[in-house]
Structure 1
């Protein structure tokens, strides 16, 4: 099996707007990341993925790019980025940035030119259509829905035409059939790699192709959302092979594609198998929603479907066991907070440590999302105006249309799923605004920062933060480094509704990882195993009696074992 530097790395995702505000204007910035690199080095990560910091109108928090070659002014300057890369590399930390391929902002010069006239040289950079006539009225070319609600087409009066936009109205989709578009994006990538970037997380990479423009048969919704119209279609792989040959391979960089929750195992292998010649690995979201989130309005009613979660992990671990590599992540900037999704509010420390162990002992490259390591939680939204995220507002409107007389319910539903939960200000200390800024943040600031923050956990050996640090040390520097990184994964007792148990095996070494997803006292028969060492645990002691392991609430233990015949 090939071995790459990123297989032996631990990543940390940074959402720059909410990470740290160095100039105290209420918004995080590039210098803020620079100032916190020593903290990240202390934590032990050696790879950071930074969400978009390109120049942008910020309709979708930077994923609507106005200029690929410049930095959003409130985040800083290109010089700040260069200084960040230099310091990170000096600490042995690689820097990966978001590469946005599917769309631009409607304020991008290409689009401004594109909409001027039908014969403009930039017209074919985007997906334009004249529309169709229905009952003597011009309507959208198709009834396809957008991810952010409504039609995936937007009408433009200037040329009496529609452009496709599967996200926001202000984010027109690029036309990847046009070789000029492909070359433009290759040039963008080369420019950033020459600047010193070590790779890319590729946003919405599965959406670069489009199906034939035929209406979806659906009597229920005016604009039904059907992922198959613009997700994981054949030509995406052609485009990625071109990018790999022209850009990724010559620079030998890390590339992580975002393929969402609709990519099959077979599709994922096409993207990131060792012989795919496309990407290094792909993020999927299959494990993000293994609970009853979409059926409740009260967060205390959340219940994890442990068997479903285990089967999801097992499916992906088996698929990439020998001919590919996976990133490991509980969440990113688009999901609710881990502690609010799978943790337990009565046992935050125990459940938080268990969740960390369960993920970090698997095969793959782990990614920690900012604040995950201290147990940050969802934000208590009280008003629709608290939402900064365009999709959260769209969800609220959609839910309100279903029950117009119950805006409280609509707010609760949108709040539970909101992407803004992961985008609140990082909680550095118990000081005003959580130490994020000296000024009131322009983003939400969770009021539990006095209880949950970095400063209070740094020197507490029993803290969640230091549990993450111990897990990272185990993976990167310990005698167990090779087995944790490259060992085989084998899940045990997959139908158990409370325990997630798996082994990691390399040569004659075996690790047994036991994680309880229950607050109840549980037992597990250990008579088949000879314990040779306790590698890490979230309790100070272990209760083993007559070869029976007694597990307390959310207990998690990693044993080194020898298996009895």
Structure 2
């Protein structure tokens, strides 16, 4: 029997770019497409082979481009459609592929479709969005249900003109599209997908992919008695028509051999995840589960304290995502610790103290490169960039998720200083803002993010540690975090079957100090040992006839001990 060739995306190493913060080419303080173009050789040198570009579409930028005004036009501060087509061509010239964000659960309220939809109840596009009449309780007008929005408050916005509410799971400026309407779906496929697929795009990261089918939209259970609005993720995610909608979308994608990776929150049932990523189901190629990056979150994301989790819970989360390959031979999984919605992984999962941050960055690189699935690396992660300092005040937080949370705490606590301090501390640990600061390119004005002659301040404050953490310096230092990422990605390619496709087994789930796992592929076996503490820990290597040290994150050390934040990979025989 002839074994079909593997799909290209299974062995891909994908580098995510947040355009506003990657590289400013024209000195206006905002990153742009020509800035990305200028650093393609740098990206290629890391060892990645695919670039994922966050939304570069025309947008009012209420939610940093995830509120799209026109799918077929580039956001002018980022450049033009011609710039985008040139960038796609240059990426392909270097033997790499390019993936875009596909944001089709909602649009901007300034999109032409929504402007028509809200113009009157009898407009042909009225049903392209989700409109509902008010409910009345004791004569008072109230929204159609009690759902809490992802950025706080009700998911319903009253419209004075047509005297109905429209649904927005995110900001009021992001009305949800009505996927139940077939004409809406066909317009989405043509405008948001085929327009860019025809221009050479190789696939999509699909935003909020499991929210298109909303179910019966009944009230959510009361889990926060102090709030009028209740968490409803299990109501509006994974609804009854999701499989149908995704199969229809996949018919378009298959014509272009385009990849999909879906953002899949609020899906703890692994059997449900398998339905999405099983090849025979023809829905999605893979998904981002949030088991790992949600570790330490509170009932509401920020209602927690820093590092409020145990190493065993972190390991169980990784095991859950790794288990997909064992559960179904035609399933696939992903490996990631950072993206535009997450704080920096060194600050969250190791230590960003000056004496430990490099070791922590290398440890996480070693661990990730040894895990199975498609690997995703976020801009600056390869340098070991960390969260911005606790001393920065709230004016540095630009993200609507952060600012809305802080306002909510202020209102609920009547501006209690202790409550506000706790809110800021949690934001300093978990806020999305930390991933969105300008990339540190050099020890230069604005960290080399903008041209030297620029007089415009970057849209977010650059970090203050560029003297010890920047791309130009690390590019020439094999002992840097960047140098180690290059080494690990080369090893991942050299042992592709074992690390990308091998079976994962955790050897000591309950250890509070070590993460020890094996990877197995047919006759090959690797042992991975990671010390997740700031002290020396004794190793217990399984009794095998032969072991070969493939790599140590700190250079070969004591055979009996792992140094603080050290990781090692052994080949076993």
Q: Normalised by the size of structure 1, how large is the TM-score?
A: 0.94
Distance of 2:301 and 2:87 partners within structure 1? 43
- How far is the alpha carbon of 1:291 from its aligned partner? 3.6
Distance of 1:339 and 1:422 partners within structure 2? 12
- How far is the alpha carbon of 1:20 from its aligned partner? 0.4
Change (3 A) 1:294 1:385: farther
- How far is the alpha carbon of 1:523 from its aligned partner? 1.4
Equivalent positions of 1:390-469 (< 5 A) are: 390-403=400-413, 404-406=415-417, 407-437=420-450, 438=454, 439-469=456-486
The yes-or-no answer on 1:195 pairing with 2:199 is yes
The yes-or-no answer on 1:503 pairing with 2:507 is no
Residue 112 (structure 2) aligns with: 109
Distance of 1:491 and 1:235 partners within structure 2? 36
CA contact (8 A) 1:269 1:276 kept: no
Per-residue CA shift, 1:27-52, capped at 9, x if unaligned?
A: 00011111110001111100111100
Residue 212 (structure 1) aligns with: 216
Residue 336 (structure 1) aligns with: 343
CA contact (8 A) 1:400 1:410 kept: no
The yes-or-no answer on 1:486 pairing with 2:492 is no
CA contact (8 A) 2:277 2:332 kept: yes
Residue 162 (structure 2) aligns with: 159
Greater shift after overlay, 401-410 or 512-521?
401-410
Residue 271 (structure 2) aligns with: 266
- How far is the alpha carbon of 1:227 from its aligned partner? 0.7
Distance of 1:236 and 1:384 partners within structure 2? 39
Residue 516 (structure 1) aligns with: 531
Residue 320 (structure 1) aligns with: 325
Distance of 2:480 and 2:51 partners within structure 1? 23
- How far is the alpha carbon of 1:301 from its aligned partner? 5.7
Q: Normalised by the size of structure 2, how large is the TM-score?
A: 0.93
Residue 538 (structure 1) aligns with: 553
Per-residue CA shift, 1:244-285, capped at 9, x if unaligned?
A: 12x111111110000024342111111111222001100011
CA contact (8 A) 2:59 2:75 kept: yes
- How far is the alpha carbon of 1:372 from its aligned partner? 0.5
Distance of 1:213 and 1:510 partners within structure 2? 49
Unaligned runs of at least 5 residues, structure 2: none
Residue 226 (structure 1) aligns with: 232
- How far is the alpha carbon of 1:300 from its aligned partner? 10
- How far is the alpha carbon of 1:100 from its aligned partner? 0.6
CA contact (8 A) 1:350 1:538 kept: yes
Per-residue CA shift, 1:287-329, capped at 9, x if unaligned?
A: 0133477899999963651111111111221222333111110
Greater shift after overlay, 374-383 or 62-71?
374-383
- How far is the alpha carbon of 1:397 from its aligned partner? 1.3
CA contact (8 A) 1:393 1:414 kept: no
Provide the aligned length of Structure 1 versus Structure 2: 555
The yes-or-no answer on 1:94 pairing with 2:97 is yes
CA contact (8 A) 1:97 1:197 kept: yes
CA contact (8 A) 1:536 1:558 kept: yes
Distance of 2:459 and 2:171 partners within structure 1? 22
Greater shift after overlay, 377-386 or 496-505?
377-386
Distance of 1:302 and 1:364 partners within structure 2? 26
CA contact (8 A) 1:521 1:550 kept: yes
- How far is the alpha carbon of 1:470 from its aligned partner? 0.8
Distance of 2:546 and 2:570 partners within structure 1? 7
CA contact (8 A) 2:350 2:565 kept: no
Unaligned runs of at least 5 residues, structure 1: none
